[in-house]
Amino acid sequence: MTPTVEVVSSTADTSRPPSNVSPLSNSELPQLDQPLPSGEAKGEAVQAMFDTIAPRYDLVNRIMTFRLDVRWRRIAIESLGLPKGAVLVDLATGTGDFCRELSEHGYRSIGADFSFGMLDAARTAEPLVQGDGMSLPFPDASVDGVTCGFALRNFVDLDRVFAELARITRPGGRIALLDASSPDNPVAKAGHSVYFGKVVPFIGGVLSNKDAYGYLPRSLAYLPPREELLAGLVSVGFSNANHEQLTLGAAQLITATRD
């Protein structure tokens, strides 16, 4: 049974800019010459950033990942191993990429994001809700699983997010969490550092917002080591927690089963 939530939107159009948010000045975004924000300031900065880059988010993602983000999401969905018709929450759904691909795989999904700009720019027929990952608007044990694409490093308190995932996921349910990563191989790591640290901000600056896409490479510093990520999931009630590096470590996939 699909959980009852207040739906913000079920369809949206990315051919137009978000109608319910105003473009923000660069001073309201994470600044390259300042330390990474933390606590409440981080939440506000991240929300402002995603509201701002929403209109061209898909385009920039496809270009800067050479469409590998599409492949990574498919790998994550295949790792779920849930029956057709399973209901999943796509956390930090953004423009709804995961929701669309979950539907193609026979799943039902609800997209959740705390950026109204992203929800307004979403292109999916699945229901969407506005919500914070640290306090999700879903009943206990109400969904069969959760996906999340490239957002773990943007949450203010990852332990609280993991606890929320455990709360809303039924026993036997599965989660698949994607995020950016840094390769272990020294040669690949050096190349990735140049591309992610220099080329990605340049592409983002030309097509969208320089400050926002300069923040994204720096935000990798927010992510704990993989052992700590897996331990955090186990501590809140998940088992079979697994970490996998994708495409020479450019991305990482974390999966687990709800006890």
Tell me the CATH number at 162: 3.40.50.150
Work out the angle at residue 212's Cα, subtended by the Cα atoms of residues 182 and 147, and round it to the nearest 5 degrees.
Answer: 55
pLDDT digits (tens, 9 = 90+) for 34-64: 778 888 889 888 888 888 898 888 889 889 9
Which two three-digit tokens encode residue 125?
A: 């027929």
Q: Is the pLDDT of residue 2 over 90?
A: no
What is the extent of the structural domain holding 235?
35-258
The one-character DSSP state at 83 is: P
Position 123 in a domain: yes
Distance in angstroms (rounded) separating the CA atoms of residues 109 and 102: 7
Q: What is the pLDDT of residue 7?
A: 53
Q: Per the structure, how many domains does the chain have?
A: 1
Q: Is the pLDDT of residue 16 over 80?
A: no
Position 85 in a domain: yes
Q: Is the pLDDT of residue 254 over 80?
A: yes
Helix (H) or strand (E) holding 222: none
pLDDT digits (tens, 9 = 90+) for 229-253: 999 999 999 999 999 999 999 999 9
Position 183 in a domain: yes
- Indicate the pTM of the whole model: 0.86
pLDDT digits (tens, 9 = 90+) for 92-140: 999 999 999 999 999 999 999 999 999 999 999 999 999 999 999 999 9
